[in-house]
Amino acid sequence: MAEITRADALALISEQDMGELWQDAAKQSLALQTFRKVRMTKQQAKVRVLDALPAAPGGGAWIDGDTGRKPTLDMGWANKFLQAEEIAGIVPIPENVLDDADMDIWGEVRPRIAEYVGYHLDLAVFLGINAPSSFGDSLYEGAVAAGNVLDLSDYLGLGTQAQGYDIGGAFSEVIGLVEDDGFSANTIWTKRSVKRRMQNLRDGNGNLIYSESLRNNETVPQIWGVDTYMADNNSLAAQGNLNAIVGDRSRAVLGIRQDIEFKFLDQATLTDGNGNVLVSLAEQDMVALRFKMRAGFTVADPMTWEGGAGGYPFAVLVA
């Protein structure tokens, strides 16, 4: 029997356009969420840290009698610097593509640019990957240099889970490394895969080691009561043996000289590093979105009574 099938009439049937572009949500930067942020009004800013503690004189700190001589004490400070460095890029697109699109393409591109900037910022400040030299040591590099490292495999080999030698116990020890140096272990930055290993672990009183609490209408994960941030942008995975970084977030100083700024281009010629022309916007009927952000980074690690000059406000748990 002759009939007009759906396949025959497909060209006449329009699809419903949901008006949305389905994609994974843009991931936020751990550094921008949690570090101490300061506004920079110049290319370079100075951070002063305590470099020498007051020392008691040879006879001790107590004064002898009513007329004993009061000693003079020395203290010292050192300067650390925030140097504004730039991360930037250009995203070109043909004008015809923009004209024919059913949605705001630039509106979809901007969150991805912010994600790109945040990801590479995290790589630099947490791990030192492709970081400007002015940033100094990243949190991971500084912790390793200070000896604030716990190897999970070695720790698990010390005893059984019943004795407390599991990943929960390892986190407690890493928290202790920071506190032993005289700093507050108020933040944990970790891979999302760690959550699965922690969820059912309990302390000696039967309380969950990993928990979630509601604060300001947001769910806040915690390990041993310490606020915990998962690397949704997968930045920490770039250091293959790293499970977590623990430390005092206020000691990680992020200087913001310029937030992410956007500028549209329609006449520029884009070249590679050798001067070869890649795109001529005007000649090829293209436009481009240029973006840039300027930021500096340093670790404020003053001398403490507990850690002395070698103390460091961060520690790492490695595989």
Q: What is the CA radius of gyration of the chain?
A: 27
Total count of residues recorded for the chain: 319
Separation between Cα atoms, residue 142 and residue 253, nearest integer Å? 14
DSSP β-ladder status, 218-223 and 226-230? antiparallel
Identify the pLDDT of residue 311.
93
pLDDT in tens, the chain (319 residues): 455 455 655 665 555 554 544 555 567 899 999 999 999 998 988 777 766 667 777 767 787 887 777 777 666 767 788 999 999 999 999 999 888 888 888 888 888 999 999 999 999 999 999 999 999 999 999 999 999 999 999 999 999 988 989 999 999 999 999 999 999 999 999 998 999 999 889 988 889 999 998 888 888 899 999 999 999 999 999 999 999 999 999 999 999 999 999 999 999 999 988 889 999 999 999 999 999 999 999 999 888 889 888 899 999 999 8
Burial class of residue 148, CB neighbours in 10 A (0-12, 13-18, 19+): buried
Phi and psi angles of residue 104, each rounded to the nearest 5 degrees, phi first:
-75, 100
**Other residues' Cβ atoms within 10 Å of the Cβ of residue 245:** 28
Identify the pLDDT of residue 143.
98
| Residue in this structure with the two tokens 């020395």, named with its chain if needed | 74
CA–centroid distance for 72 within its chain: 43
Phi and psi angles of residue 293, each rounded to the nearest 5 degrees, phi first:
-140, 140
CB 155 within 8 A of CB 164: no
**Other residues' Cβ atoms within 10 Å of the Cβ of residue 18:** 7
Find all residues with CB under 8 Å of 54, minimum gap 6, and list them.
Answer: 73, 74, 75
Q: Quote the pTM value.
A: 0.84
| Per-residue CA distances from 180 to 15, 237, 252, 318 (Å) | 64, 27, 18, 19
Identify the pLDDT of residue 64.
80
Identify the pLDDT of residue 50.
64
Identify the pLDDT of residue 18.
45
* First-last CA distance in the chain: 69
Find all residues with CB under 8 Å of 210, minimum gap 6, and list them.
Answer: 168, 195, 198, 199, 201, 221, 222, 223, 228
